[in-house]
């Protein structure tokens, strides 16, 4: 539903319209996300329990289910001004190409060197680490967007940054690695022989190309074992969704400015950082009964945690060194099939989004990658920007919804998150250009193997 | 010299403040740039002479030394709105890192998938080709920015696009190639066996890795020999500087908005497209005696056309199929040493800039590449954006000027052009990160070889 005057092509907020506070959707949830549990005691983790792993202030944010708004510290706000507000773009050229009566908008988070929205949380996590007087942080990265973002943030605050990069990405994406090194980070392919868990995994699975869950295990081990270091994570966590709420808050502010209320809101979903951030204020209205929106999570058919996973407690990592979280999971041993390109390869899903999905506040669909790259190509050729494979999942769904409108004649307003650019994903594009890209939908038997890794916790 | 209130970090113009007209600096030049000549007759080229190679309207723009303003057609303006206005950024973090009293601003042209300012002229040239009813265009590309920009523009207007890519770049930058293919362009490594001149060069120099001048020859040959095709070029030409004036016009509008008048304006210089565009309105004021600015062209020490070249008539390409232009040139056979990274490798310089330089309206310096990458690293770590190697030449000079201010205590205002991002240049960054980057300043003997290729035209 669209009202008001014709929008300009890009809707930029003013610099002083960047939100001053993050929005914590948990405060408005009747069913709170289930707490992180200590896998040994099955007791909820406290700030003290989390503090050896996370910075204290981030541990507090992780467990804060009550405050709806948290003020963004000045130092973070100043950094945000380097690349925010990000544009909300009216996809006029895509609409024209589809010949649809639908109105399509996208929130573009790729105009920074990390190439994605990940910087929104990286800078927050680096800031709190610096504030606590730490020497450095450790993390994992898969496709490389999060590692790049964290490298940039650490360079800005003069913090050491140790990145464990999934081995297959390390080898296939040397350029991502060099971007991180340019910002001063050290990058180690995972699994590596620098950690106990890495050595164990290498022994059990010689020749493995690694997984996100395994890289997490290594990064956590190093953080816990090194004086003055903590671990930081770019997705899944409650704190990350909090920081990413800036995406949704800006989107809503820009839409309000032009008098547009969306009907459908679409985001790609891997661990949930972008989707959770984008939908936050909208789902907040929905939770408070103030408005209704059709919210769609789009995941790869090859890693279908929401659409085919189980909503149970599981480890967040392969090595089982993390607390356990209740979430939609394919099992912490799950690894997508080798032909899967790009990110969105995590076995689980943000506990906040998992709860919202279980409670019916959003729906989820899965799409196959060849159709995702078709959508990416059409988007690039009409709207100019070459999208990340991850973001292109949302593009696919937006196009499909717009084509439905073409059939029914409905003038729905569709908003989707364009999380980033695909400049470091040209190996996948090359496959697509050469018509060598394939699809793979895991069979029930494939999934059963992952499910078998979920421990049977004796929960009350 | 800075007046007025504290500027916001980024100064964005409104969408309706994108300039409606290009500015043609030639109209204000007392000494006009020397005309393109037919090498056989040594007579000035007419629109009719140029029309087999260029679209008619572009040929007219090429020869138009009289109209100071040319209205931007609506179709081009609408495309500009996809990625313009580009931000003018106050480099507060760089200033702080340098501890300088200087005020540093940069005009950032990298927020589009081509990754540079090249799109400003690509879209104009594609538009005029489409308007003339052509089937397609041919061009050359070196570092790949121009080829990408043209691919995007042709995809937008549904024109065929044939790119001749310097072989060494084609092989070292497969990702650039895939971006172009994603937009539907065909990309051929040059020299190739698809043209007469390519076959000749391959025969004379087997194993050559190609040059920009050679790729130009091939692209021109194909354009002239194929029904419904014309040739387009991303730099050097008068028409390109005209289109790129949008950079300078926006820069001036943004500075006026915050009440800042620059003392120093800096741009990197290869063929001159960015520098010419950035300085246009400022040098216009200088030509009309209305204001004074210290304008600095920065070129690589390994390809020093302005600082060490000759201001004479020479061919624009290696194969000597183009008209001849009076410009600062190292000789059309000149190829930078093999260790030279990035673009800025053209043997000549825009005739407009050459004339302005000869007449003392700007000065030129050359910098060595290791110091350029040092500047790039500092910029990335402070201002966030990973710059293109080309742009980093301007960063180097801006830093050096700011450091001079630190010594003298002067509060000069420095504006430089950040032409693009370095996301496709990580091979060069990797060399720098591994401390394997080297410098090479050509000896007088090296240059003498290039100069020897300049024909001795019997000019009146």
Residue A368: is its pLDDT beyond 50? yes
User: Could you please report the per-residue DSSP string of A324-343?
Assistant: EEEEEES-TT----TT--SS
Cα–Cα distance for residue pair B87/A342, rounded to 1 Å = 30
Tokens of B82: 């996809």
3-class secondary-structure state, position A459: coil
Mean pLDDT, residues B9-23: 91
B158 touching chain A per CB within 8 A: no
Cα–Cα distance for residue pair A438/A41, rounded to 1 Å = 44
User: How far A92 CA lies from chain B's nearest CA (Å)?
Assistant: 10
pLDDT of residue A6: 63
B384 touching chain A per CB within 8 A: yes
3-class secondary-structure state, position B140: strand
Cβ separation of A113 and B12 shorter than 8 Å? no
User: How far B16 CA lies from chain A's nearest CA (Å)?
Assistant: 9
Cβ separation of A156 and B384 shorter than 8 Å? yes
- Find all residues with CB under 8 Å of A315, minimum gap 6, and list them: A39, A213, A322, A324, A332, A455
Tokens of B112: 């589009």
Cβ separation of A8 and B81 shorter than 8 Å? yes
Matching residue, tokens 């392919």: A189
B96 touching chain A per CB within 8 A: no
The pLDDT tens digits for B178-199 are: 999 999 999 999 999 999 999 9
A-contacting residues of B 10-39, CB under 8 Å? 10, 12, 15-16
A380 touching chain B per CB within 8 A: yes
Cα–Cα distance for residue pair A47/A52, rounded to 1 Å = 9
* pLDDT-derived band at A213, boundaries 50, 70, 90: confident
Question: By percentage, how much of chain A surpasses pLDDT 90?
Answer: 88
- Strands A10-11 and A88-90 come out as antiparallel
Pick from A250, A252, A286, A247: which is nearest to A413 by CA?
Answer: A252
A424 touching chain B per CB within 8 A: yes
Cα–Cα distance for residue pair B127/A345, rounded to 1 Å = 41
Handedness of CA B418, B424, B425, B430 (dihedral sign): positive
**Which of A9, A155, A430 is the closest to B178 by Cβ?**
A430
Cβ separation of A81 and B10 shorter than 8 Å? yes
Q: Which residues is A264 bridged to in the sheet?
A: A294, A414
Closest-CA residue of B relative to A8 is B15
The pLDDT tens digits for A134-157 are: 999 999 998 899 999 999 999 999
Mean pLDDT, residues B251-274: 97
Sheet holding A294-300, edge to edge: A10-11, A88-90, A103-108, A413-418, A264-268, A294-300, A363-367
Cβ separation of A174 and B380 shorter than 8 Å? no
- Which residue ranges form the domains of chain B, and what is each CATH number? 10-20+73-115+238-451 (3.40.50.1100), 27-69+117-231 (3.40.50.1100)
3-class secondary-structure state, position A209: coil
Residue B95: is its pLDDT beyond 80? yes
ipTM: 0.92
CB burial string B396-414: b at 16+ within 10 A, e below: bbbbbbbeebeeeeeebbb
The region of weakest confidence among A198-202, A276-280, A318-322, A357-361 is: A318-322
pTM: 0.94
Question: Is the distance from CB of A308 to CB of A24 less than 8 angstroms?
Answer: no
Tokens of A198: 């890495």
Mean pLDDT, residues A353-372: 98
If you count residue pairs, one on A and one on B, with CB atoms under 8 Å apart, how many are there?
A: 118
Cβ separation of A423 and B179 shorter than 8 Å? yes
Cα–Cα distance for residue pair A237/A297, rounded to 1 Å = 17
pLDDT of residue B2: 43
Tokens of B118: 């090249």
Q: How far is CA B333 from CA B40, B237, B414, B441, B447, in A?
A: 19, 19, 36, 17, 10
A83 touching chain B per CB within 8 A: yes
Contacting residues of B for A184, CB less than 8 Å apart: 381
Question: Is the distance from CB of A439 to CB of A301 less than 8 angstroms?
Answer: yes
Contacting residues of A for B424, CB less than 8 Å apart: 175, 423
**Which of B156, B174, B433 is the closest to A178 by Cβ?**
B433
The tally of CA atoms less than 13 A away on the side-chain side of residue B210 is: 28
User: Could you please report the per-residue DSSP string of A105-168?
Assistant: EEEE---STT-BTTHHHHHHHHHHHHHTT-SEEEEEESSSHHHHHHHHHHHHHT-EEEEEEEHH
Tokens of A188: 């180690």
């Amino acid at each position: 539903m669209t009202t008001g005057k014709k929008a300009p092509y890009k809707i930029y907020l003013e610099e002083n319209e960047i939100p001053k506070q993050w929005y914590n959707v948990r405060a408005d949830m009747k069913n709170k996300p289930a707490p992180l549990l200590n896998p040994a005691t099955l007791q909820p983790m406290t700030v003290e329990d989390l503090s050896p792993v996370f910075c204290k202030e981030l541990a507090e944010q992780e467990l804060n289910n009550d405050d709806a708004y948290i003020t963004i510290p000045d130092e973070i706000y100043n950094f945000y001004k380097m690349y925010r507000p990000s544009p909300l773009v009216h996809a006029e050229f895509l609409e024209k190409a589809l010949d649809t009566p639908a109105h399509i908008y996208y929130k573009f988070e790729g105009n920074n060197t990390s190439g994605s929205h990940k910087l929104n949380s990286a800078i927050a996590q680096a800031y709190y680490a610096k504030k606590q007087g730490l020497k450095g942080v450790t993390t994992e990265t898969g496709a490389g967007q999060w590692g790049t973002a964290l490298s940039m943030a650490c360079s800005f605050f003069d913090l050491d940054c140790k990145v464990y990069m999934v081995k297959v990405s390390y080898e296939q994406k040397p350029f991502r690695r060099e971007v991180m090194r340019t910002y001063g980070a050290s990058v180690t392919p995972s699994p590596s022989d620098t950690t106990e868990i890495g050595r164990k995994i290498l022994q059990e699975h010689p020749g493995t190309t690694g997984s996100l869950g395994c890289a997490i295990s290594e990064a956590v081990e190093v953080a816990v074992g090194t004086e003055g270091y903590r671990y930081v994570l770019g997705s899944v966590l409650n704190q990350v969704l909090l920081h990413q709420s800036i995406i949704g808050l800006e989107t809503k502010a820009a839409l309000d400015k032009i008098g547009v209320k969306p009907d459908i809101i679409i985001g790609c979903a891997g661990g949930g950082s972008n989707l959770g951030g984008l939908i936050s204020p909208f789902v907040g209205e929905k939770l408070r009964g103030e408005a209704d929106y059709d919210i769609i999570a789009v995941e790869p058919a090859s890693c279908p945690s929401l659409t085919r996973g189980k909503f149970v407690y599981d480890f967040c990592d392969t090595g089982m060194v993390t607390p356990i979280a209740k979430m939609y999971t394919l099992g912490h041993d799950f690894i997508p099939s080798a032909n899967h390109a790009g990110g969105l390869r995590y076995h689980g899903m943000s506990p906040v989004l998992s709860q919202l999905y279980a409670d019916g506040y959003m729906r989820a669909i899965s799409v196959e990658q060849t159709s995702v790259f078709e959508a990416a190509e059409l988007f690039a050729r009409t709207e100019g920007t070459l999208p990340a494979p991850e973001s292109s999942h949302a593009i696919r769904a937006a196009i499909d919804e717009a084509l439905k409108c073409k059939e029914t004649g409905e003038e729905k307003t569709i908003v989707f998150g364009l999380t980033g650019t695909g400049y470091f994903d040209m190996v996948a594009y090359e496959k697509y250009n050469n018509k060598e890209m394939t699809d793979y939908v895991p069979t029930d038997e494939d999934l059963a193997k992952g499910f078998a890794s979920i421990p049977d916790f004796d929960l009350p």
